[in-house]
Amino acid sequence: MLLRAVGLAKSYRGAGAEPIPVLRGVDLEVKAGEIAAIV
């Protein structure tokens, strides 16, 4: 295994005080010899 990410989360600050979640619980595995792009 070359790269492993477990339980990634991302949120943005909205116009109010509450964050806006856009990703929750994202898992990623990249094995040796594989190619991955994150945009």
Q: Is residue 15 very low, low, confident or very high in pLDDT (cuts 50, 70, 90)?
A: confident
The average confidence (pLDDT) of the chain is: 93
15 vs 31, residue with greater confidence? 31
What are the residue boundaries of the structural domains of the chain, listed by start? 1-34
Q: Which of 2, 21, 1 is nearest to 10 (CA)?
A: 21
Q: Which two tokens stand for residue 3?
A: 């790269």
Q: Which of 37, 27, 23, 28 is nearest to 2 (CA)?
A: 28
Please give the pLDDT value at position 23. Answer: 95
As a whole-number percent, the residues of the chain with pLDDT over 90 amount to: 79
Q: Residue range 17-37: average pLDDT? A: 94
